[in-house]
Amino acid sequence: MQASFSTAIYDERALRAALQEADIVPTLLVLVQLTGDMKILHEAAPFIKGAWSFQEEIPEQLKEKSETDWWKR
């Protein structure tokens, strides 16, 4: 997996593929850190069930929205 992330910074398709493989909770946290926009995290918060194991039941529609938000910036 490390190799896929190393090449992702140079290749948008590789970056998109790496983000699709990534766990959604850390991905959301990174998105908030980079953008300062906590709206998506507030929307997802009710569906996150565990702090350390990233247990989540985030609806696919919200996951797709977070992926779309990466490319708006």
> Rounded to whole angstroms, how far apart are CA atoms 64 and 14?
17
- For the chain, percent of residues with pLDDT exceeding 70: 75
DSSP state of 35: H
- pLDDT for res 68: 73
Distance CA(40)–CA(3), nearest Å, equals 29
Mean pLDDT of the chain: 79
Give the burial class of 67: count Cβ atoms within 10 A of its Cβ; 0-12 exposed, 13-18 middle, 19 or more buried.
Answer: middle
8 Å CB contact between 26 and 64: no
